[in-house]
Amino acid sequence: MPKRGGRNGPSGSRFVAFNDLEERDERERDRERDNPRKDRNTRRVSFKPSLLQYSGGIKRRMAEIAIRSHLEDDEDMGDMPGTSRPENTRRKGSPIPRKKFGNLAHLSRSPLGWYQISINNGQRYARDELVSVLQRAISPEQLIPLYWRSEKSFISFYVDDHRVAERLDGLDRALQMPDGFRPYLRIRAACPQVPVNDELRARMQVVMAKRYNAQTKALDMSSFHTDPDFKGIFCGLFRSPIMAAAVEIMEKNIPDLVALNLNNNNISSMEAFKNAHTRLPNLRILYLADNRIPTATHLISLRPVPLVELVLKNNGLCSRFKDHSHYVREIQRKFPKLRKLDGEELTPMIQFDVGEEATALPPAKASFLCDPNGTDIIRQFLEQYFLIFDSDNRQPLLDAYHDQAMLSLMVPPASQVGRLEKYWRYNRDLRRQNVDDNTKFRNLRVGRLAVVSMLAELPKTKHFPRSFTVDLTLFTPKMIVFTVAGMFKEFDQGSEELRYFQRQYIIVPAGSGFCIRNEMVLITIAMQPQIRFFKKTIEPSNAPQQINHEAAGLSNSLQNRLSINQPSTSTVAAATLQPAQVGIDESTKIQMVQALCAQSNMNIEWSKKCLEETNWDYNHAAFVFDKLHKENKIPPEAFIK
């Protein structure tokens, strides 16, 4: 049956809607009159024991809210006056927004004190214009944008003040540019990532030199990253690599440092001072106030340092103690020689009456020799072996190995394979091989031809005898066992890599000399302490020289490392390795004479005479000169030039 009226007639949809509303209101009033609700204005409160237990109820509640919202939207007729709700009005029962709401927004405090501010489409404006608008918006706070960077679709910069970052975070969309654009700011806790390169090291050295007081031997590095000389370069000491570089500069340039001020640097770790008692032996005063050291355990790296004054106020560790006396006792227990803490004089801690000399460890020595008679044999063996090994031709080493010689090589675990890939295919680490794996037999080189063939395939090297440590553990007429360790440079395709090696030899008599019966080799990358030792003591004394000069340096270095005693003639004669002899031309002889002249301070005539009498054996000539010179058997005219 058709409906009455037309589309817009009195019986149309709008008229029906009004009638429906009136009927529904009347039904609601009748229901409330018949069943009046008690405390209709009192809300019911229920507590949820678990968020997961009533997850289904939560979903039903959210669905009910969505349906009610949909029905209310249907009932709200936009063309009827008084029916539309005001904007930004939260419906009854709807959840509180998770994002910023009123004055509840707070920026989380950065543990490092630095914040990155990113502005979308900020690259459209000049830096001065944008900074000026930001400064006016957060006044009276002072905005100092650091490490400004402009990208394709945004700009970013850093600030080191939490109040400034919080004010910028509170701007939201309130910031407006002169052209009416409202940029969006994103603030997060972050610090710039800057590599520790030569440029940064040089800048750090300049700033540290400026802040060093030579009279008091004190270095002021407080608020180090805010120094004007670091404009455009991030240098926060709370980053471990930067702190390690700073300690390295101190060790190299001011090893007699007594007082160090590191206040207000956001430092949370002291791992860079792990060996400070040897690298900075005179350090006695240390200021660490206004940093972020969380617990006293983080000071464990400083425990070997004999500090007499320490400042730790305004660090997280200070609030972890129940009272001040407990704090003082704990710090003094870690540093027994401490006399002043946070500016207060301390009562000396009661200790056992033991002097420092009673606990001092004996100094490490370059060598251990179970029998002094083996000194010269080992010295000459190593001289000749590494002189050939570091040359362009390693084939003469055939005479250094026994016919049934055995050699194996080992490299560290797979974590270092990328840097030692040239040695990995020779690796015979039994811990990394299966029981039924034939690699352990294949990588064991048997026979002098197989041994020297493998050695010839290894990269070209240069060993540094001043880094050698030698341990002679067995010395008998029929067998000698010793271990040599040290550093060498690996040359490959124009690059130089510093390596550490350890080689264990078993040598036996062969004719008038000795040959290698068994050898085990370990090669690894050089650790940071070894690299520092190399750069500080070894590299400066190894300037580019001719081969014969290097031979002279090799002989002299091994003499110092092995602490030579007076040898017997028979012992020296028995130490010859007997490599293949090669003819010496006149130009080489002239270089050998000049090298011996420079090493011994003898004139050309006597240097040449010494080499001729030793059949142009440079190592033997240098040894004979040392022996005769100690016995005062060289005439004075030999030194007249």
Indicate whether 286 and 381 sit together in one domain.
no
437 domain-assigned: yes
595: number of Cβ within 10 Å: 24
Give 626's contacts (C-beta < 8 A, 6+ positions apart): 559, 564
Spatial separation of the C-alpha atoms in residues 136 and 412, rounded to whole Å: 60
Indicate whether 204 and 174 sit together in one domain.
no
Render pLDDT for 24-64 as a digit per residue (tens, 0 to 9).
666 666 666 666 555 555 555 555 554 444 445 555 555 55
Indicate whether 299 and 339 sit together in one domain.
yes
The answer to which of 254-263, 323-332, 344-353, 388-397 has the lowest mean pLDDT is 344-353
Indicate whether 421 and 534 sit together in one domain.
yes
Cis before 241 (ω within 30): no
530 domain-assigned: yes
Q: Is residue 532 predicted with pLDDT exceeding 90?
A: no
Spatial separation of the C-alpha atoms in residues 617 and 26, rounded to whole Å: 125
Indicate whether 152 and 247 sit together in one domain.
no
7 domain-assigned: no
pLDDT value for 220: 92
4 domain-assigned: no
The number of angstroms, rounded, from the C-alpha of 149 to the middle of its chain's C-alpha atoms is 26
Indicate whether 242 and 336 sit together in one domain.
yes
Per-residue pLDDT band for 564 (boundaries 50, 70, 90) equals very low
Angle at 194 between CA 206 and CA 110, to 5 degrees: 110
138 domain-assigned: yes
The number of angstroms, rounded, from the C-alpha of 618 to the middle of its chain's C-alpha atoms is 45
Spatial separation of the C-alpha atoms in residues 535 and 544, rounded to whole Å: 15
**Which stretch of DSSP H or E encloses residue 379?**
helix 375-389
Taking every pair of C-alpha atoms in the chain, what is the biggest distance, in angstroms?
143
492 domain-assigned: yes
| Residue 277 belongs to domain spanning | 198-348
Spatial separation of the C-alpha atoms in residues 426 and 421, rounded to whole Å: 10
**Nearest Cα to 223, choosing from 237, 213, 212, 234?**
237
CATH number of the domain that residue 444 is part of:
3.10.450.50
Instruction: Please tell me the total count of domains within the chain.
Output: 3
CATH number of the domain that residue 169 is part of:
3.30.70.330
Indicate whether 483 and 408 sit together in one domain.
yes
The last residue of a domain, from among 128, 163, 189: 189
Using an 8 Å Cβ cutoff, are 379 and 483 in contact?
no
Using an 8 Å Cβ cutoff, are 375 and 572 in contact?
no
Indicate whether 453 and 315 sit together in one domain.
no
Task: Look at the chain and count its residues.
Answer: 641
Indicate whether 300 and 430 sit together in one domain.
no
Per-residue pLDDT band for 207 (boundaries 50, 70, 90) equals very high
Radius of gyration of the chain (CA): 41
The last residue of a domain, from among 189, 211, 234: 189
Indicate whether 154 and 301 sit together in one domain.
no
Indicate whether 384 and 501 sit together in one domain.
yes
CATH number of the domain that residue 256 is part of:
3.80.10.10
Per-residue pLDDT band for 352 (boundaries 50, 70, 90) equals low
Render pLDDT for 450-505 as a digit per residue (tens, 0 to 9).
888 888 888 888 888 888 889 999 988 889 999 999 988 888 766 677 888 999 99
Strand partners, 344: 341
Question: CA torsion 293→295→300→306, rounded to 10°?
Answer: 70
Indicate whether 205 and 293 sit together in one domain.
yes
